[in-house]
Structure 1
Amino acid sequence: MTTGGCAVERSLFGNRDYRRLFGAQVVALFGTGLATVALGLLAYRLAGARAGAVLGTALALKMVVYVVVAPIAGAFADRVPRRLLLAGLDLVRALVVSALPLVTEVWHVYALIVVLQSASAAFTPTFQAVLPDVLPDERDYTRALSASQLASSAETLLSPVLAAAVLSLVSFHWLFTGTAVGFLVSAALVVATRIPPARPVVRARLVDRITAGTRIFLATPRLRGLLAVNLAVAGASAIVMVNTVNYVHDALGRTDTDVAVLLAAHGAGTIVVALALPRVLGRVADRSVVLAGATALCVGAGLAIALSTAGSGAWRWPAALTTWAVLGAGAGLLLTPIGRVLRRSARAADRPAVFAAQFSLSHACWLLTYPIAGWVVTATGFTTGWTALATLAVAGTVAARFLWPRNDSPATARDGEPRSVERADSGQGTR
C-alpha cells in the first residue's frame, strides 16, 4: 500500500467488503434521519401540544434501552454469525418503522421505540467491532472511522433537507417507508459482505460475559479516561442536541431556517475536523487529540454561556454560528480516535464487549445530560442549565487528564481479562 493520501483512500474503498459495509451504514443513517423527522410529526398527530413530552419520553426510553441492551448483545456477539445477526437486526428495524404509521395510541409509539432501539443497541456496537476485523491495517481503520464520522455528519445536514423534499410531495407516513427501505438495503449489503467470524470468548458465566466490557473499561487506565471524556461530550453536546431550536426561536427570535443553519454550522465544524484527522493521527498521539477535543467542547460550552448572558445585537447570530462550529469541531476531534483507542485496548475476542461497553456507558452520560438540557433549561433558563452542562464537561475533561496516563502504552490485553489489560498498561509505567 502506498502512503499517498489519494492512494490510501482508493485502497480503502477498493476493499469490497468495507465498501459494502460503508454503504450499509450510509443508507441506514439516512433512513434513521428520515424516521426522526417522521416521529416528531407522528407525535404531534397523536398528542398535539403534548408532542414534546411524547418525544422526550421516547428519547429517554431510547437512552435506557441503549444502556441496558448493548452489554447483553455484546455478551452473545460470538454465539451468532455476525453477518446474519446484523442483517436480522436490520430486518427487525425495517418491520418496526413500517408499523409506526399504523399506531393510534401514544403507548404504541413507546412500545415500538423500545423494540427499534433494542435492535439498534445490538446493531451499532456489533458493526463497530466488525470494522477492525475487516480492516486490520490501522491506517485504513483510521480512515474508515473518519469516513463514518463524515457520513454521520452529512446525514445530520442532509436528512432534514431530504425529508422536506419528500414532505412537499407526500404525507409524512412515506418517510417511514423510506426508512424501511434504507434498512432493507442495509441488510442486503451486509449479507453480501464477507465478515470474519467473531473470536470465541472463554468466559462461561453469563454475568461475566455481560459485564466483561465494563470491567475492562474500569481496569484499563486509558479507558477510564475515555469514560470521563464521554461525560464531557454529553455535557457540551446536549446544548446542541436539545436546546438549538429554543435558543434560535426564543433567545435570537429567528426562523426555522436559521435552526437548520445553526445545526449545519455544528455539522460543518465536525466535517472539517474529520477530513483533517487521518493525517493528524499519524503524527499526534490519540490521547492528545482526544483531550484537545474535550477542551474544545469546554470552550464551546463557555462561549454558549456567554451568549446566553449577552444582550441584544446582530452580532449574536455570527457568534452563535461560531460557537456551534467550535462545539462541532470538539466532537469531531473525539469521535475518530475513540475507535482507535478501543481497538488497541482489548484483544479481538473482547472487542464486541468493549465496543458495547463504550456504547452503553456513553449513553448513560447522555441519560444524565439530556434531562438537564431539557428540564433545567426550561425551568431556569439557558444560563443556569448551560452552566450545569458546562460544569459536567469541564469535570469530565479534568478527570480524563488525570485518569489517562500521559505516557500511555500502546499495548493491549493478552487474554482479555481486566487484570491483563491493567498489567499491559502498568508494565509500561502508565498506571
Structure 2
Amino acid sequence: MLSILRNRTYRHLFLAQIIALLGTGLATVALALLAYELAGGAAGAVLGTALAIKMIAYIGIAPIVGAFADQLPRRSLLIAMDVVRASVAIVLPFVDQIWQIYLLIFIMQSASAAFTPTFQATIPDILPDERDYTRALSLSRLAYDTENLVSPMLAAALLSVMSFHWLFSGTAIGFIASALLVSTTVLERSRSTEPRKGGIYTKTTRGMRIYLKTPRLQGLLALTLAAAAASAMVIVNTVVIVRDILGLGQRDVAFAFAAYGGGSILAALILPRLLDRISDRTIMIGAAASLSVGLAGLAVGLPIAGLAWLWPTLLGGWFILGIAYSMSVTPTGRLLRRSANAEDRPALFAAQFALSHVCWLIAYPVVGWLGAEVTQEAALGSMAILAGFGSGLALWLWPRHDPQIIAHSHDELAPDHPHLQKDHGENRIASHPYVIDELHEHWPNRV
C-alpha cells in the first residue's frame, strides 16, 4: 500500500491531507471549549447550530465550486482555500459573540466544501492505475481514522500546558503547512475535449445530473444513507450511552470512539487486497447490510446483556460497525472515477460531497431526537431500519451486471459526426466506456 508514496505529487498531497486533518481535529476540540466559554450550558445548542451551518455550507457550496473547478488551476484553488481556512482559525480565538462563531464557521466550511472535492478529484489524475488509486483511497481512509484517534489525544496534551485558544493556532499552522505542501506539486488543469454548454444553472447542476442518472451512483447514494445511519448513531449517542447508561468516565468515551475507529482502520488495511478479488458492489452492499444487522443486534443485545457485559458488548459492536462502515464507503472514489470523464470529475466529486451530507442531515436529528426523547434502543433500531432500507435500495438500483463498456447507438447524430467516426463502426453501434456527458445524456436501458 505504501508503495504509492513513491509518487512525489501524491506523497505531498497525502501529507498535506494528514496535516490539515490534524489541524481540523484541534479546531473541533477548541470550538467546543469556545462555545462553552461563550454560552455555558447552552454550548450544545451552539455546537448543534454550528454543525447545521457546516452541513448547509457543504451542501450549497460544493456543487457551485464543482461546476467551475475544471476551469480553474487546481493548485491555486487548493492553496487559496487553505489560506482562507488558516485565516479563519487565526481569528476564531478573538470572537466574543455567538453570531461571530456562526459566520466564521460558515466561511471556513465553505472553503472546505471547495477544497475537499477538488482534492479528491485530483487524485485519480495523479494515480491513473486503478490498483494504485484503490490503495490511495485506503490511505485516505486511514488518514481520517487516525485523525479521529490522534487529534483528541494531541489536544489533551496541549491543553495541559496552554489555553484552548492556542489550539486554533495549531489549526492555522496545519492549514498553512498544507498550502505549502500543495505549492510544491504540479497539478494540471483538466482539459475538456469539447467546450462546455449552458449557463450557470446547467454548469452548477452538471455533477448532480451525472450522479443521479448513473445507476451505480444511485446505488452509492443509498449506501451512503446506510453508512450515515450507523456513523451518526456512533457520533451522536456514544457519549450518552457511555456516561449516562453505563455510568463510565470521559476516558471510556474515548475508548468507545477508538473501538469504532480501530475497526475502520482494520478495514482500510485489508480492503485493497479484497477489492483485487471481489467487486465493489459485493463488498459495499454486503458491508451496508452488516451495518443494519449490527445496529439491530445492539438494539436487542444491549438491553438483555448483563451489567458485566454491557461495556464489552458496546465496544465489540462499535468495532464491528467501524469495519462495516469503512468497507461501505472507502471504494466510493473508484465508482466516481469510472463514472465521469476527467473534466467532469470535480463536479461529480462535489455532487457526492453534497449529497452525502444530505444523508447526514437526515440521520443526525433523527438519531439524536430518538436517543434523547425515547430510548437508545429505539435510536439503534431506527438506524438499523434506515441502514437496511439503504442496503436494499442499493441492491435494487445498482445492477448486478455493471460493465464499464456498454454497447449503444447514436441514431440522433449525423453520419459524419466526429464521435461516430472515432468510436463507432459501420453499423453505428458503439462499445466504449460509458459515462453521462453531452453526447450520452441518458443511461442505456438495462438488459
TM range (shorter): over 0.9
Q: Is the 8 A contact 2:266 2:323 kept in 1?
A: yes
Q: Give the distance between the partners of 1:279 and 1:385, measured in 2 at CA.
A: 35
Cα distance between partner residues in 2 of 1:356 and 1:300? 30
| 2:424 aligned partner | none
4+ residue segments displaced more than 3 Å: 411-415, 417-421
CA contact (8 A) 1:28 1:186 kept: yes
Superposed displacement of residue 303, structure 1: 2.5
Distance 1:421 1:348, change over 3 A: farther
Counterpart of 2:25?
A: 33
Cα shift at 1:307: 4.1
1:347-386 matches, cutoff 5 A: 347-386=341-380
For residue 419 of structure 1, report the CA deviation from its aligned partner. Answer: 4.1
CA distance in 1, matches of 2:440, 2:361: 29
Q: Unaligned 5+ residue runs, structure 1?
A: 1-7
Q: CA deviation at 1:204?
A: 2.8
TM-score, normalised via structure 2 length: 0.91
User: For structure 1, which segment, 316-325 or 383-392, has the greater mean C-alpha deviation from structure 2 after superposition?
Assistant: 383-392
**Other-structure match for 1:237:** 231
Question: Shift in Å at residue 216 of structure 1?
Answer: 1.1
Assess if the C-alpha contact under 8 Å between 2:292 and 2:383 holds in 1.
no
Q: How far off its partner does 1:421 sit?
A: 6.0
Distance 2:329 2:396 in 1: 20
The one-letter code of the counterpart of 1:370 is: Y
Among candidates 87, 91, 103, match of residue 111 of structure 1: 103
Map 1:158-173; keep pairs closer than 5 Å.
158-173=150-165
CA contact (8 A) 2:339 2:435 kept: no
Secondary structure of 2:96 counterpart: coil
Amino acid at match of 1:50: A
Does residue 168 of structure 2 align to residue 147 of structure 1? no
Higher-Rg member (1/2): 2
Distance in 1 (CA, whole Å) between partners of 2:322 and 2:439 is: 34
- CA gap 1:414/1:322 in 2 versus in 1, 3 angstroms: closer
In structure 1, the partner of 2:10 is 18
Percent of counterpart pairs with the same letter? Answer: 52
Query: Could you report, residue by residue, the CA deviation over 1:354-389 in whole angstroms, capped at 9, with x for unpaired residues?
Result: 111100000001011111122232111212222222
1:23-54 Cα offsets, whole Å, 9 max, x none, are 00000000000100000000000000000111
Find the partner of 1:309 among 303, 306, 318. Answer: 303
Aligned residues: 418
Deviation of 1:311 after TM superposition, in Å, equals 5.7
Aligned to 1:9: 2
Contact 2:95–2:101 (CA under 8 A) maintained in structure 1: yes
Deviations 1:191-238 (A, max 9, x none): 111112123361331111111111112111111111111110111111
- Is 1:261 matched up with 2:227? no
Alpha-carbon offset, residue 117 of structure 1: 0.5
The alpha carbon displacement at 1:335 in A equals 2.3
Aligned to 2:86: 94
2:422 corresponds to 1:422: no
Q: Secondary structure at the match of 1:314?
A: helix
Shift of 1:275: 0.4
**Displacement after TM superposition at 1:403 (Å):** 0.4
Given that 1:64 and 1:367 are in contact with CA atoms closer than 8 Å, whether structure 2 keeps it comes out as no
In structure 2, C-alpha distance between the alignment counterparts of 1:72 and 1:304, rounded to whole Å: 40
Over aligned residues, Cα RMSD in angstroms?
Answer: 1.5
5+ long unaligned stretches in structure 2: 406-432
CA offsets per residue over residues 321-350 of structure 1, 9 Å max, x none? Answer: 110011100111022211101100111111
1:168 is displaced (CA, Å) by 0.5
- Which structure 2 residues correspond to residues 325-336 of structure 1 after superposition, within 5 A? 325-336=319-330
Check conservation: 2:230, 2:325, Cα contact below 8 A. Answer: no
Point out the more displaced range, 308-317 or 82-91: 308-317
Q: What's the secondary structure of 2:185's corresponding residue? A: coil
Matching residue of 1:212: 206
Q: Which residue of 1 aligns with 2:241?
A: 247
Paired with 1:236 and 1:134, the residues of 2 have a C-alpha distance of 32
Which of 174, 184, 188 is matched with 1:182 structurally?
A: 174
Query: Conserved in 2, the CA contact under 8 Å of 1:349 and 1:416?
Result: no
| Residues 325 and 417 (structure 1), Cα distance of their counterparts in 2 relative to 1, 3 Å cut | farther
